[in-house]
Structure 1
Amino acid sequence: MTGLSNVEERFNPFAWKAKWLLEDRLKEAGADYTSGLPLKSHVVVDRNLYTGQNPGSSAALARRIIKDVSAA
């Protein structure tokens, strides 16, 4: 799972049109949501769930997955 934080969503001029934001929905559903600095790479691994906060996280996320799969 990956998704922009509320702060990052609001950088988009169309965010105000959204009926809901992903970060809010995840928290409402009981997810342990964490975020890094806006628009910076942020990767979180929880057992077999690998997530990246934004498109800028894709390289770090891919490197982490490759490292973990290679070690298995």
Structure 2
Amino acid sequence: MKLSELSCGSEGIVTGMSGLSAATRKKLMVMGVLPNTPVAVVRVAPLGDPIQIRVRGVDIALRKQLAEDIEVEVK
């Protein structure tokens, strides 16, 4: 399942980020978005972009297009 498909309040575990470029993947990893890390969707903007996620106690806003390239497993 893609991170962009999770509904508001849902939680999941990051399983992969293979669709992202190496530079983008590295930036996300520095922010704490790593494989086997729990993530929660806090809220979604009214038009669907951006998506606010919570990772390791930190809130991050991601573009929907970026969230479509992050694979998660629903908790």
TM-score range, shorter chain: under 0.3
Which has a greater percent of strand? 2
TM-score calculated relative to the size of structure 1:
0.24
TM-score calculated relative to the size of structure 2:
0.24
